[in-house]
Structure 1
């Protein structure tokens, strides 16, 4: 990543919906963005987000099972990643997302209550990735 002002998009992929967050490399912080339901032409919404934020890279949560067997969602995530690369020619990184939904649900109170949990999970995934890769 050359530019420290680089915008990174994070995705928490689920079976019915995906949580989105954006972050800046310079501040190493992420903010929840939106949740998109995987139905109809949800790629139109993703196009809009790519156009608005122009991310230099995408970080996608990598679900892990306790016994290290592949997560049931992994095949869906892999085809989603393939499609992202094809459409946007963007660099994709994976980040272990163990505990992010729990962390996000803890955050999902008070002033943050109306913001979707999946978007918070994406923000946590992104901040975790930024800490690990660009400390």
Structure 2
């Protein structure tokens, strides 16, 4: 009896300058070497002259190092909504700020320093 094989399908994504992405050095990954996955910022896209494939140049955020010719198959967009989830879901009615994540507390402190009169309304 054969079973159908489940396969993940990567959506076709076009990245733009400034996007924050997770990318993987596929050679290091398959060789089992450490340091194969990085967070980067898209600097530009370009088309390879021979293959006509769109590639990306990134800046690795942890070391501010340039990475050129990254294949988008090994990139994933890191959405702002995921990065800001802790702030967006902070328990504002909670009297104990220890119940909030450090990022949420930092955002609240910064906002209150700018204008202590009121917190922003809910969207």
When Rg is computed on C-alpha atoms for both structures, the one with the higher figure is 2
TM-score, reference length from structure 2: 0.23
Structure number with the bigger relative contact order (C-alpha 8 A, sep ≥ 6) is: 1
Say which structure is richer in helix: 1
